[in-house]
Amino acid sequence: MFDSFFQHSLTSFMTIFPILNPIGVAFIVNSYLASLEDQERNYCIKRLVYNSLLLCIVSLVFGQVILMVFHLSIPIVQVGGGILICRTALNLLNDKNTAQKSDTTLGLEPSIRTQLFYPLTFPIIVDAGTISVIFALAASSYSKQVVSTVENFAAILVGIVLCCALFYIFTYSAFNITKKIGKSGANVINKMCAFFTFCVGLNVIYDGILSLIKTYGS
């Protein structure tokens, strides 16, 4: 029983990890937070991890209900989310000052604070691809036995928690790396990550369109 739970957790982690991409996302998020004071940046990172974990859990538990209530399909979520990812990436590519400077000692600037959920948590950290994968994992985890269903969902949750924990670690590492290579080097990394994010958005749109063609074209 434990071996089965461990394997399911590992499978869920390996499925979510490349889609969530905590390593690449960490550098993108760092472009927003690099110029903040240590205390402010730590608060932001913890809040982003909390938001990401909460969004993933909501997608896991209520994914099917959300799709039914709004009459949505996973391909539609992919296409819409992919467009948001591309839009966010273009803003990062066109912004000459991707990292916003905090001028106050009383807390975070409103401009930073209002971006913690959108676009940072969604769709940069947890994008439509991640949500659709979680939807798919949840759909395949239902069983006639309630205990088995709960165990399957718990295993997926373990995979989600591990990915969010790695994002937390990599975000701190990204700040130290960009600090050592200087502003110009950090800006190059940020622009490269923004470009890759744009490509990810295009890929999510492409996958969504293919799924729509397979579903409604036959």
**Tell me: the pLDDT tens digits for 70-124?**
888 878 887 887 787 788 778 778 865 544 433 333 344 557 888 899 889 988 8
Contact between 189 and 197 under an 8 Å Cβ cutoff? The reply is no
For residue 211, give both structure tokens.
Answer: 């799924």
- Average pLDDT value for residue range 159-168: 96
pLDDT attached to residue 107: 46
For residue 132, give both structure tokens.
Answer: 């659709």
More confident: 144 or 164: 164
More confident: 58 or 129: 58
- Average pLDDT value for residue range 46-66: 93
Contact between 35 and 101 under an 8 Å Cβ cutoff? The reply is yes
Full 3-state SS string of the chain: CHHHHHHHHHHHHHHHHHHHCHHHHHHHHHHHHCCCCHHHHHHHHHHHHHHHHHHHHHHHHHHHHHHHHCCCCHHHHHHHHHHHHHHHHHHHHHCCCCCCCCCCCCCCCHHHHCCHHHHHHHHHHCCHHHHHHHHHHHHCCCCCCHHHHHHHHHHHHHHHHHHHHHHHHHHHHHHHHHHHHHHHHHHHHHHHHHHHHHHHHHHHHHHHHHHHHHHHCC
pLDDT in tens, 151-162: 999 999 999 999
Sorted by sequence, the CB contacts under 8 Å of residue 174 that are 6+ apart come out as 26, 27, 29, 30
| ∠ CA 84-123-109, rounded to 5° | 105
Percent of the chain with pLDDT over 90: 28
Q: Which amino acid is at 176?
A: N
pTM: 0.76
